[in-house]
Amino acid sequence: MDKSTQYKMFNDPIHGFITVPKGIILDLIDHPYVQRLRRIKQMGLGYLVFPAAEHSRFSHALGAMELAQRILNNLREKDTTISPAEFEGTLIAVLLHDVGHGPLSHTLEFNLIEDFHHEMMTLAIMRKLNREMDGALDLAIRIFTDQYPKKPFLNQLISSQLDIDRLDYLKRDSVFTSVYEGSVGIERILKTMRVYKGNIVIEKKGIYAIENYILARRLMYMQVYLHKTVLSADKLLRNIFKRVRELIASGTDLYQASPSLQFFLENRPTATKGIARRVLEQYLQLDDNDVYQSIKYWQYADDPILADLCQRFQSRSLFRTTFLDGTPNARLKEKVRMKTQKVLQAQGLPHDEAAAQYFYSFDESYSEAYRYENEGIWILEEKDKAVEFSKAADTQNIIALTEPVVKPYVVHLKAFDVKR
Amino acid sequence: MDKSTQYKMFNDPIHGFITVPKGIILDLIDHPYVQRLRRIKQMGLGYLVFPAAEHSRFSHALGAMELAQRILNNLREKDTTISPAEFEGTLIAVLLHDVGHGPLSHTLEFNLIEDFHHEMMTLAIMRKLNREMDGALDLAIRIFTDQYPKKPFLNQLISSQLDIDRLDYLKRDSVFTSVYEGSVGIERILKTMRVYKGNIVIEKKGIYAIENYILARRLMYMQVYLHKTVLSADKLLRNIFKRVRELIASGTDLYQASPSLQFFLENRPTATKGIARRVLEQYLQLDDNDVYQSIKYWQYADDPILADLCQRFQSRSLFRTTFLDGTPNARLKEKVRMKTQKVLQAQGLPHDEAAAQYFYSFDESYSEAYRYENEGIWILEEKDKAVEFSKAADTQNIIALTEPVVKPYVVHLKAFDVKR
Amino acid sequence: MDKSTQYKMFNDPIHGFITVPKGIILDLIDHPYVQRLRRIKQMGLGYLVFPAAEHSRFSHALGAMELAQRILNNLREKDTTISPAEFEGTLIAVLLHDVGHGPLSHTLEFNLIEDFHHEMMTLAIMRKLNREMDGALDLAIRIFTDQYPKKPFLNQLISSQLDIDRLDYLKRDSVFTSVYEGSVGIERILKTMRVYKGNIVIEKKGIYAIENYILARRLMYMQVYLHKTVLSADKLLRNIFKRVRELIASGTDLYQASPSLQFFLENRPTATKGIARRVLEQYLQLDDNDVYQSIKYWQYADDPILADLCQRFQSRSLFRTTFLDGTPNARLKEKVRMKTQKVLQAQGLPHDEAAAQYFYSFDESYSEAYRYENEGIWILEEKDKAVEFSKAADTQNIIALTEPVVKPYVVHLKAFDVKR
Amino acid sequence: MDKSTQYKMFNDPIHGFITVPKGIILDLIDHPYVQRLRRIKQMGLGYLVFPAAEHSRFSHALGAMELAQRILNNLREKDTTISPAEFEGTLIAVLLHDVGHGPLSHTLEFNLIEDFHHEMMTLAIMRKLNREMDGALDLAIRIFTDQYPKKPFLNQLISSQLDIDRLDYLKRDSVFTSVYEGSVGIERILKTMRVYKGNIVIEKKGIYAIENYILARRLMYMQVYLHKTVLSADKLLRNIFKRVRELIASGTDLYQASPSLQFFLENRPTATKGIARRVLEQYLQLDDNDVYQSIKYWQYADDPILADLCQRFQSRSLFRTTFLDGTPNARLKEKVRMKTQKVLQAQGLPHDEAAAQYFYSFDESYSEAYRYENEGIWILEEKDKAVEFSKAADTQNIIALTEPVVKPYVVHLKAFDVKR
């Protein structure tokens, strides 16, 4: 059969075209579990700061799969053998790598299920799909879980310091946020990627593209992912859920939360012993809309604290974030609490200590642009010599930039200035 | 006071930066009525075909406001007097021009309120905001409703064949859909726009930018807005709502529809005599999420027709669209109905005539790239001579391309081929 | 051997990367005959209007070769057999397709050799290279001259209404001139190109990309290639050469013309009976610099007419172009001549009829966006049905836009207005 | 008069549009001294590595002037007073800032005139233009030479670590070389620039744009300006001129060098006591074409060394560059010399020590991305507190990257490997 009818083409502002092979890949894309990702924003609350960053995890998943195709084709051109089954398995693993994300992913991850990480859910969903599809995902799961020692580079494409996930989301997020400084030249990275002794390496002529990639990642953390207003919006959302759980614990009616969300809020499931079937099924019903719909109605809740927090959220009257010079001391914490209580009192809101805790929060942000121990990026300096990026020529100074950055901050009401 | 602290800057992938004057403009942007637009996609169901076209009416509203600023500043540079109040009034009118849109706007517009058009709602909301803000929107409303005879060009910027709405959405939609052919050189249009005898005209050197704009608009209709799959998805969504209303009429419980949506489905309000206060309030609670949440739960409805339609929607198992060579005759209609019934029967679904009507639909698409009668685009050919675009030099042949295009089509189950 | 070391990569702002296979292709690129194209601007005098349009025929040749690779690889993916020799032969033919261009190509083409067309020279150079390289260009020459009936589509890639030459130069010129309206979505054209019954066709889903391509080409003619100022600069350059030849004919010393240019000006070779060896050798020494160097020194020529024309050229004091409503009549010609003479007299320049003819010129511009007779673009409407583009659905109206456009004009001194 | 007819618009791929005020600015642009810059490539021999980097100093000069307008308008919006005369003076100074560059600027700068720097020539030309134009450039010259203490920030725009020259050329060069990693977000820099206590500072929200700017500059040095092949081509060109001067010194006929170039080669003028009038006049005749024309004919010189070097240049048969681990010792130098002599002998070329020196060269490359002492970039951290960039928050680690990088290298024949 003519190959050209075996593909479907989607347009994509990031990669131009996304070519989807018909068969299992297209079936998976149209599966409700993957379609669910259309209703989960890639950047969570980031759209509150970057108005056009409204793109979903679905378009990221498609984009990553397209990159996987380009990379695998490119590796084949460089004489690395990749069988059709391995090709397809890798595509599936990349397509599904984030399928376990829940609503407002990172923000709420720990609020719905205890002892939980979204990778666990991804694997649970992949296994469920595999059962539905009679084992068609066997190889994909082995690659995803790094149980395919024959070709370790396939797993590295899915999870490493230079994985396809990062390549697509950095590029995609920098375009949709229009943060020029975070833009990555993925085309050159793709062109200079190759397999050396079973592992992914970058040819020497790609070294500056890697430097740029690491620095861009650093800037995206600084400017976007850990943006002051994003931090404060995240905290507001978490406090809304903290309040809701407390209200539920005290027997208050939730007033119009979505049924699936209600399941999680009432049952507080845990993933300590794996993910129960009933939890999985409810989880697969959840998406961002459950959260937004609930907040919309909680604006009119009887509880004045919940209502106030949700009204703030709807009108973008967020808290302020103030970065601190060091770990906050008891006196500062006391000061912020008292100022908060005073403002709440003036606004006729509950203002005891317990109430105040919903209106401020001390925390610290953490970012790490590149981790070179154990899992670094390797540069093929000469025909038979690969060195870890931080040890390559011309790059030593870069490493200073990749040390983890920890910044303490406090989120608080705009009515007062923490530093005065 | 220093002007530079009077502005807030947003990033935007389309225009680079969006500068928002603090004061009433920023207050309006943060108002829940405008924030609501974040939850309504600009292109409705277009994302089902163009995966990255997930942008909201909110980012379009901001983008349009930014263009308005650029255009007004540019007109001032060309010695057109625009007072600060007129400047602000126009910005407000542009910012709010689509605030009356409801969920899945064009698709569902006529399904929620009878005798309704979203412009009516826009005006109602603007008046409500004006009351809240003690008349601060007076001038904006006059400009929006063309009751400002002193400077007719201000209204032309809001509603004409070359209005700011179109400039922003064409550009924005072509980028997010990655339909290269629909891309418009708005920068040149902006630079060559000016006021001549009170009306907006384009300087002669902008004539090819206008030609390109009209042709791009034509291509966006052909390739995007009236794309086969978009047409079929629209029809599926409308049929879901048709079924729901019928079920409600027969007293069936809606099972988990959102409260606001339920209000409209049960009460079937009409706008014949204007928009009642209660209707307005419920409308302001509605957004795309109400629709998506409802469909998510309707998948499990007792009614097999509704459940089937909603399951199709969730897994993107859409109908097929077949364009017809002419108006369909009775025989074709009969044929499609019978084939539909046969397929439904085989799938164990209700398959009488009444049931079948939810699974196919005859209709026609309509597009018109440029309307030159009464309201055309004017070109300033010489210092004192403006001519309507279709009468300018070098453009006569274009006009053939701007005639309305009407294409009959049928949407039907994929199981059969209409033309055989 | 590892394939990845068999390629060299160049950066290109139009296509991202240009991959050059080592071996004959790289040898040809480094050959002085091809390197010569670095010193001939792709758009001739276009840079006088579009300051950044300074790109050379060399970068266009590389870009076209890159497109050829992409297209051939794509056709192979669609199961069209192309042997390594055919692949290389096509690349060579595309790389060299413009190698016969002379300085300021279209402007001066007929001024250096009589009865000449640059394609003749291209072929002569290809044959010379073929002799040098012991027949390595045999197949390339057969493909270039359409003497390869086995696979007619290969020649169509080199010379047709949709050839690679046009795809690259339209895209490249629109970027460097920054004429947004002339931009072509070549990626979609590439993706939808295929071979059907031995000929290049476009799959149906590429039809709007073709429409856009034709309209973009039309706009590039209108806005760029036949821009008023380009027309007038071309005329000025031709008149400089007309004057020089006349001076040489009357025995005047050329004062510092470049030796190769002098050869052509003095000998006036003809190509009626093919291209003589000596002519070919001198031609291969010529590039834009010979023209610019000569004009630089001719500014100080004793002949006041030549000096004046060359000074105009150096300071961009060009003539004015006025488009006429119809074929100019004798009275208008008389009027322009007399006005010209009057101005020349006032400036103390020779002002008899013979002198005046260097300062004005009547001519007409000609453009044709698409020629559908005999050699049109074919659309694969259904599995087994190809139709010529103008007969395909939805495109009929386009054809009106593709009729040849002929515009009479006069180029004259800026000191007077022709229409008054 | 209507302002809109007082401007001329040019298209530019980097900035979209370049708006040129009619009057002195347009007169200067059309002046032969500025038009001369069209014939000098911005990146010298960089086009040999980056085929599309063929842009001239002319388009850079226009682009810089456009940026100057945007910056000055922006500063005015932020309430910095700039008079019309200061505005125009700054534009002139920016437009002319590079007018003193000679052919193949940096490569040949020290080869034409001794004790020379192109800034001296820029000033000499500005003064010559000022005399021609009756003092119209008085203020421009004061600003250019930092003799305008009233507004020091105007000179900072022309010459500092963040001057307009760099902003335009970094952006322009990164686009034309298609080196993605060197791309700079100039729009954000423009938007966040302001005047504080008479000096240019960057608002805090622009700090990452500055970080990106410095890192991009670093990468452009590493990847482009000091690219191995660029270094080797530069050396080849310099050696050609070294040989030519030696031949002239020994009384050999230059065979077809351009007259102006011959003037410099024969007279070896010096700038120790300023620039003599006759030198200035000849210099203004010189451009890249003089060099390229001469090399074209020197290929056929009688001297076998000159002929060989020029043939290499024409067919891009460049030397190889090998970076060294440290300062080369006598033994290495000896080794390279002997290997060179051996190869020359085998090729039948002169191969004594004196001859060999034209075929290899030891040198070191130097780059410095940011110099913070005395003239750093200042960040406005708070309303009344500006700090130098390297001392601002979050940037300390950057500084490691900005230390001068010195890399010793040897350029040599490709026939041997230095490290073996």
Average pLDDT of the segment spanning B254-270 = 84
Structure tokens at A148: 């395919």
CA D45 to chain centre: 11
- Whether the Cβ atoms of residue A361 and residue A235 lie closer than 8 Å to each other: yes
Using a CB-CB distance cutoff of 8 angstroms, which residues of chain B are in contact with residue A291? none
Map out the domains of chain B with their CATH numbers: 3-226 (1.10.3210.10)
pLDDT at residue B259, as a whole number? 84
pLDDT at residue A144, as a whole number? 97
Place of tokens 């007109």: B75
Chains that touch A (3 or more CB pairs under 8 A): B, C, D
Average pLDDT of the segment spanning B13-34 = 94
* Residue contact A78–C187, C-beta within 8 A: no
Tell me the C-alpha distance between B218 and B225, whole Å: 10
Instruction: Please indicate whether residue A200 or residue C272 has the higher confidence score (pLDDT).
Output: A200
* Residue contact A62–B51, C-beta within 8 A: yes
* Residue contact D397–A394, C-beta within 8 A: no
Tens of pLDDT along B316-333? 999 999 999 899 999 999
pLDDT at residue A160, as a whole number? 92
Q: What is the mean pLDDT of each run of 10 residues along chain D (420 residues)?
A: 67 94 93 96 96 97 97 92 97 97 82 84 97 97 97 96 95 94 87 94 91 90 94 96 92 79 89 89 94 93 96 94 94 97 97 96 91 82 87 72 87 92
pLDDT at residue B119, as a whole number? 87
Tell me the C-alpha distance between A36 and A54, whole Å: 15
Query: pTM score, two decimals?
Result: 0.93
pLDDT at residue C162, as a whole number? 93
Distances (CA, A) of A8 to C76, C196, C205, D352, D412: 18, 20, 11, 67, 52
- Under an 8 Å CB criterion, which residues of C touch B? 180-181, 183, 185, 187-188, 208-209, 211-212, 215, 219, 222-223, 394, 397-398, 400-401, 403, 405
Structure tokens at A62: 């498609």
| Cβ-Cβ contacts under 8 Å for C6 (sequence gap 6 or more) | C21, C22, C23
Mean of the per-residue pLDDT values of chain B: 91
- Whether the Cβ atoms of residue C373 and residue C297 lie closer than 8 Å to each other: no
pLDDT at residue D213, as a whole number? 92
* Residue in B180, B227, B293, B295 to test binding to A, most A beta-carbons within 10 Å: B293
* Residue contact A4–C187, C-beta within 8 A: no
Residue of B nearest to C224 (CA): B208
* Residue contact C16–A187, C-beta within 8 A: yes
* Residue in A3, A4, A6 to test binding to C, most C beta-carbons within 10 Å: A4
- Residues of chain C where predicted confidence (pLDDT) is lower than 70: 1-5, 110, 255, 373-374, 393-397
Tell me the C-alpha distance between B42 and A356, whole Å: 39
Best-predicted range by mean pLDDT among A402-406, B388-392, D237-241? D237-241
Q: Please, which residues bridge with residue B406 across strands?
A: B366
Reading phi first (left if > 0) and then psi (alpha if -120 to 50, else beta), residue B50 is in: beta
Average pLDDT of the segment spanning B237-248 = 94
Q: Which of D181, D208, D222 sits opposite A223 (nearest CB)?
A: D208
Residue of C nearest to D311 (CA): C32
Q: Which of D16, D31, D56 sits opposite C178 (nearest CB)?
A: D16
* Residue contact C17–A205, C-beta within 8 A: no
Of the pLDDT bands very low, low, confident and very high (cuts 50, 70, 90), residue A1 is: very low
Percent of chain B at pLDDT > 70 equals 96
Using a CB-CB distance cutoff of 8 angstroms, which residues of chain A are in contact with residue B263? none
- Whether the Cβ atoms of residue C349 and residue C359 lie closer than 8 Å to each other: no
* Residue contact B10–A297, C-beta within 8 A: no
pLDDT > 80? residue B4: no
| Helix (H/G/I), strand (E/B), else coil: B213 | helix
Q: Which of B17, B78, B188 sits opposite D3 (nearest CB)?
A: B78
* Residue contact D17–B191, C-beta within 8 A: yes
Minimal Cα–Cα distance from C181 to chain B, Å? Answer: 6
Q: Are strands D7-12 and B385-388 parallel, antiparallel or unpaired?
A: unpaired
Structure tokens at A404: 């983890």
Structure tokens at D34: 């500025």
Q: Which of A185, A219, A403 sits opposite D180 (nearest CB)?
A: A185
Tens of pLDDT along B91-150? 999 999 999 999 997 778 767 888 888 889 999 999 999 999 999 999 999 999 999 999
Instruction: Give φ, ψ of D182 to 5 degrees.
Output: -95, 5
Helix (H) or strand (E) holding C304: helix C304-314
pLDDT at residue D255, as a whole number? 67
Q: What share of chain A is helix, strand, coil (3-state, %, to 5)?
A: 55, 15, 35
Tell me the C-alpha distance between C141 and A377, whole Å: 47
Tens of pLDDT along D317-339? 999 999 998 999 999 999 999 99
Residue of D nearest to C285 (CA): D296
pLDDT at residue C260, as a whole number? 86
The half-sphere exposure of C310 on its side-chain side, counting CA atoms within 13 A, is 22
pLDDT > 70? residue A140: yes
Using a CB-CB distance cutoff of 8 angstroms, which residues of chain A are in contact with residue B294? none
Chains that touch D (3 or more CB pairs under 8 A): A, B, C
* Residue contact B316–A35, C-beta within 8 A: yes
